[in-house]
Amino acid sequence: MKQAFSKMLLLSAVILTDMLAGMELDLFVPGFVELQNSFNLTPFLVESLLSVNFLGYCLSLFFVGELADYYGRKPIILVGLMIFIVGSVLCLMAPFYSFLLVGRFMQGLGIAAPAILSFLIIADLYPLKKQQSLFAILNGIMNASVGVAPVIGSYITLYFHWQGNFAALLILGILAFFMALFFVPLYPQTKPKENFPGEGYFNILRSEPLRLGITHFILQFTPYWVFVGMSPLLYMGALGVSLKHFGYYQGALAFVFAIGSLLFGMVVARYDQLKMLKISGYMFVFGFMSLGTVSFLDSFDPIVITLAFLVFVIASIAPSAILYPILLEVMPRAKGRIAALMQGGRLLFAALSLQVAGYFYQDSFRNVGMIIMVFIALSTMTLFTIVNRGGETETGKNIL
């Protein structure tokens, strides 16, 4: 009974850090207009508060992954949350724009640790089947947090102004810190034997299953962020969707993925995983065809475009939940670095792809849709390659 209660508290701590990671970026966005007026900022300077946060996050990722494999998950998560808390205080008390900029950078540096290491706590504690179930549920919680964050942020801004959003992040950060401090155990860590810093990343990239799996995750992640990143220009600029209704289109994708992940987490252990991945692959093909039709016709109907892309979003649920824990088990002593490579690679590749989509954008969905289709085709090929190999590692062990 006591062990079950301890696990429940541990899961609560992981869920809270997962929610914080999901809300950190979007919660303060509704306060942009007030921030612009309060500090007399140009649109570029306001947007820089997002960019500098993303920069801090990316810089921190690879150090976090390596340090977590050497010193354990808990110490690195606690250090990351402390940095996040200091950054939140700077933002909340900022008398000048420079304080905001430094604070947002520190928030990005700090949030990387709980964002990628919270699941590794689960991976260290539970067997593979249970990991997949819990990861699907955590994925659902994070995406629900992303979907609801702008709504919550709007009401906080309405009643407590832009400072209220940073106060909310500060409170969440402090709660997450103490939950991690008291309820996350300090697991003994077997330190990897390597000759120089960063050698572990080279070893990961030498592994063919890991190269294939990480490549698939990067390719699967990219279409979503290209779509989401271009949707403000497309929906409000070209399709005539009002600001009031735009959030429904954006939120629909996150909430469908969130609800689907939560439901999938309850059933993933009951069915054959290869068959589920095959079904996802066929759904990728159907999503490719749906987007191809909409792109070819150059549709200007936002509902049709959203529904066409929703097929791919639903198809992504099973591969995300099934494959991520499996890839971590290929090199158990390098879980932190594997997670860092997947997360960092996805973010950097998505950012570059979004710039390409922006360059070719011509006030319609056609070019955006064609770019998304390329990545869906590539992610479909890598998924079927993984399925055909049956999850086999270099040792010949079948892990699916």
Give the residue extent of every domain in the chain: 2-181, 201-389
What pLDDT score does 395 carry?
42
Beta strands in the chain (DSSP E): none
Regions of the chain where pLDDT drops below 70: 1-4, 29-30, 47, 150, 187-199, 243-244, 246-247, 391-400
- Record: fold of 201-389: Growth Hormone; Chain: A; (1.20.1250)
CB 133 within 8 A of CB 268: yes
How is residue 29 annotated by DSSP? G
What pLDDT score does 199 carry?
66
What pLDDT score does 392 carry?
52
To the nearest 10 degrees (0 to 180), the angle between helices 97-125 and 32-39 is 150
CB 301 within 8 A of CB 400: no
What pLDDT score does 6 carry?
74
**Is the dihedral angle over the CA atoms 167, 15, 350, 293 positive or is it negative?**
negative
What pLDDT score does 394 carry?
44
Global confidence as pTM: 0.79
Helix or strand holding residue 310 (H, E): helix 302-315
d(CA 262, CA 215): 25
What pLDDT score does 51 carry?
76
Torsion of CA 70, 72, 77, 78, to 10 degrees: -100
What pLDDT score does 356 carry?
82
Report the half-sphere exposure of 369 (CA within 13 A, side-chain side).
27
C-alpha 361 chain-centroid distance? 25
What pLDDT score does 190 carry?
59
How is residue 232 annotated by DSSP? I
Q: Tokens 């150059």, residue?
A: 298
2-181 CATH pick, 3.40.50.150, 1.20.1250.20, 1.20.140.10, 3.40.50.300:
1.20.1250.20
Name 299's Cβ contacts closer than 8 Å, sequence gap at least 6.
305, 365
d(CA 239, CA 302): 7
Q: Tokens 């724009």, residue?
A: 97
